[in-house]
A and B are shown apart, each in its own frame.
Chain A
Amino acid sequence: MNFKLTADAWVGVAVLVFAGIVYYEAAQIPASPLYARVGPAVFPFFISGAMALLGAALLVQGLRGGWSHEDPELTLLPDWRAVFWIALGLAVNLAAIADLGFTLASALMFACVSRCFGSKRPVADFGVGFALAAFAYLGFSVGLGINIGEGILEKLVF
């Protein structure tokens, strides 16, 4: 038998590591009071055990050549340019939403994600995203009285 360290084998390793983390965290749960016949740590230990078994099985499958090659779409090289733009969009949204507010952060994300999927007109994208986000913001604040993320712009305008 010919063992290969495929990407799939690393998935097995990751699942094993996950099982270890679950085990460690389960061991931190304090002992349960008398009345609880089955304590709060029983299920967590069970999950950790099951994950360890499944991780080992995946590792073996991975070392024997893995399963990813069965579907050619899985092993295509990622389009790094597109991945960069979408990752940037999500990161910008995450970083900016608390201060800039929902409308601006979402519009920026909208422009980045559009770019990711091949749009070549960043200004138009930003405009559409801004209109959509502002519409949603107003709809919520006027319709239901919910503030879905007030920031600089919302404080100034609304």
Chain B
Amino acid sequence: METLADLATGFSVALTPTNLLFALVGTLLGTAIGVLPGLGPALTIALLLPITYKVDATGAFILFAGIYYGAMYGGSTTSILLNTPGESATIITSLEGNKMAKRGRAGAALATSAIGSFVAGTIGTIGITFVAPLVVELALNFGPAEYFSLMILAFVTVSAVLGNSATRGLASLFFGIWLGLIGIDLQTGQARFTFGLLELLDGINVIVVAVGLFAVGETLWLASRHAHGKDELLPMSGSLWMTREEWKRSWKPWLRGTGLGFSIGALPAGGAEIPTFLSYYIEKKLSTKPEEFGKGAIEGVAGPEAANNASAAGVLVPMLTLGLPTSATAAIMLSAFQSYGINPGPLLFETQATLVWGLIASLYIANVMLLVMNLPMVAVWVKILAIPKPWLYAGIMVFATIGTYGISQSVIDLALLYAVGIAGYFMRRFDFPTAPVIIGMILGPLAEQELRRALTISQGDMTVFLTRPLSASLLALAALALFGPVLWKLANRRG
């Protein structure tokens, strides 16, 4: 009950007019930058760090938290409407979300993602409030061996996006893993596949690849089909909002996505993308209409959207309980603590109770604000699709330029975007699925690094993956997901 008293204090801090204003500005700004590809919450907060010299700590963190949550809401909007993901955690959203928009259900897709984000954000924040210390102790049991096994489990999810042919799907996957390996190898400092370009030493940004494949590649493809009239968008159909059936198909994915997102987000090396992959896979497996996946299934939007918002809450768990920055955004927020002379660490909850509880309370408030703001906005956003087609596609290209050149000022990045776009065109022409490229690019290097860390620690002993119970269970789960259905079929046939 002490927690509730602390939370009440937190609300008394967060509900002052000034701090409410900070929350409002933060959520607005967060939504705006979430919409823009390439400009994420980490960079935005970094650019706003100088305000820490002018504003008190509570106000600044309430602003930052609003930006952080807002970006997660905003990122899905462009994924759905323009097939141009604003954040790496919303790439999966565009798979079904954009297909829904194309068949005239943009409103429902935006609504399920906004409501799902609200549900996930709120449950995630409740998680921070009540179980953070417990979760973090569990999360610390994850070592490189466990993470490697988790990545193997996540690789299984690629089977949900392989498309018409396993050969072509796997070729896409390996292409993605290769893209992910470009740059300096973290473990040995050696440059790999950089072709002598300094700009490639830090690797290729996954957003550049996603925007290149989805937005540029797709636009090139539609251009080449223009004479055949294949670039039609279906007009909006049915109600702007979600139908009764769409509600029914959304609420379970919201909850499942929340569970995945919060728990994986709380892992120090969990990240926000992996839970979206897992959620998409699970929803496809559990859906009563799996045939709709790939054509705009609402579960495929609801689940991953809840997962990425819950993971945003999850990331705050190690940050607030141990002072561990496990994402770029958390790292910047921690450096903001330092400019107030606060050293974030395991004692933060005790030494800075007002600040921390004010921050947590403001997360609840930010979520409500975002829901109230985003639902009416759905009606405005869908109007984007009414823009004359030539201008819509031209606008998408300008947008993609902002996300690459505008952020890095590097013509090489822009050239890379277009090169990936051309690759995307040919992949489309020869029916190679593009989603496995993204999955490979994100998971490949993570799996590689964790494997190598685990083997350095174990001095080359391969059995660590099986002798550590958590790791073995994750591998067993992966094997079950991969071979379970086949075995099930065989068993049924015999019986």
Task: Answer whether A and B touch in the complex at a CB cut-off of 8 Å.
Answer: yes
Which residues on A are within 8 Å of B, measured CB to CB?
Answer: 7-8, 11, 15, 18, 22, 25-26, 29-30, 32-33, 35-40, 43-44, 47, 50-51, 54-55, 57-58, 61, 67-68, 70-71, 73-74, 76, 78-79, 81-83, 85-86, 89-90, 93-94, 97-98, 102, 105-106, 109-119, 125, 128-129, 132-133, 136, 140, 144-149
Known: A47-B177, A47-B181, A119-B390. A110 touches B397 (CB 8 A): yes
Q: Specify the chain A residue showing the minimal Cβ separation from B427.
A: A11
Question: Can you list, as one digit per residue, whether each of B366-402 has a CB less than 8 Å from chain A (1) or not (0)?
Answer: 0000000000000000000000111101110110011
Q: Which residue of A is nearest B389, CB measured?
A: A117
Residues of A within 8 A of B181 (CB): 43-44, 47
- With A102-B405, A117-B394, A128-B391 as given contacts, are A36 and B456 in contact (CB-CB < 8 Å)? yes
Distance between A152 CB and nearest chain B CB, rounded to angstroms? 16
- CB <8 Å contact, B190 and A82: no
B397 touches A67 (CB 8 A): no
Q: How far is the CA of A115 from the CA of B226 in the complex (A)?
A: 11
Given A32-B190, A73-B230, A116-B223, decide whether A37 and B452 contact each other with a Cβ distance below 8 A: yes
Pick from B116-124, B163-171, B262-270 the stretch touching chain A: B163-171
Interface check B431, CB cutoff 8 A: yes
State whether B188 touches A40 (Cβ < 8 A).
Answer: yes
Which stretch (B3-11, B107-115, B408-416) binds chain A? B408-416
* Sample (28) of A-B pairs whose CB atoms are under 8 Å apart: A36-B188, A37-B455, A37-B460, A38-B451, A38-B452, A43-B181, A44-B178, A44-B192, A47-B178, A51-B178, A67-B164, A71-B431, A78-B225, A93-B397, A93-B414, A94-B418, A109-B394, A113-B219, A113-B397, A116-B390, A117-B226, A118-B226, A118-B389, A144-B47, A146-B407, A148-B402, A148-B405, A149-B405
CA distance A38 to B178 in the complex (A): 17
The count of residues in chain B whose C-beta lies closer than 8 Å to any C-beta of chain A is: 63
* Structural contact, A115 and B390, CB atoms closer than 8 A: yes
Beyond the given pairs A25-B192, A97-B411, A110-B397, 5 more chain A to chain B contacts, judged by CB atoms under 8 angstroms and listed by A's residue number, are A43-B448, A50-B174, A116-B226, A117-B223, A118-B390
Contacts of B226 in A (CB 8 A): 79, 82, 116-118
> Is B401's CB under 8 angstroms from A97's CB?
yes
The answer to the question of B430 belonging to the interface, with a C-beta cut-off of 8 Å to chain A, is yes
Question: What separation, in Å, do the CA atoms of A37 and B459 have in the docked complex?
Answer: 7
| Shortest CB distance A38–B (Å) | 5
Using CB atoms, name the residue of chain A closest to B194: A25
B-side contacts of A117, CB under 8 Å: 222-223, 226, 231, 389-390, 393-394
Q: Which residues of A contact B406 (CB under 8 A)?
A: 102, 136, 140, 146, 148-149
Contact B219 A86 (CB under 8 A): yes
The interface residues of chain A lying within 8 Å CB-to-CB of B171 are: 15, 51, 54-55, 58
Query: Are B167 and A57 in touch, CB under 8 angstroms?
Result: yes
A126 vs B95: C-alpha distance when bound (angstroms):
32
**SS class, residues of chain B in contact with chain A:** helix
Neighbour of A98 across the interface among B44, B411, B430, B459, CB < 8 A: B411
Distance A50 CA – B175 CA, assembled complex (angstroms): 10
CB-nearest residue of chain B relative to A49? B174
Q: Mark B140-174, 1 if CB is under 8 A from A, else 0.
A: 00000000000000000000000011011011001
Give the CA-CA distance A67 to B430 in the complex, in Å: 8
Give complex CA distance A35, B453 in Å.
10
B391-A25 in contact (CB<8A): no
Instruction: Tell whether A67 pairs with B398 under 8 Å between CB atoms, given A58-B171, A113-B393, A114-B390.
Output: no
Tell whether, in the assembled complex, residue B224 and residue A82 are in contact, meaning their CB atoms are under 8 Å apart.
yes
A30 to B397, CA, bound (A): 40
Contacts of A35 in B (CB 8 A): 456
With A32-B190, A114-B391 in contact, is A109–B44 under 8 Å at CB?
no
- Cβ-neighbour of B193 out of A44, A81, A94, A109 (below 8 A): A44
Tell me the smallest distance from the CB of B290 to a CB of chain A, in Å: 20
CA distance A40 to B231 in the complex (A): 44
CA distance A102 to B395 in the complex (A): 14
Does B54 belong to the interface (CB within 8 Å)? Answer: no
Chain A residues positioned under 8 Å from B193 (CB to CB): 22, 25, 44
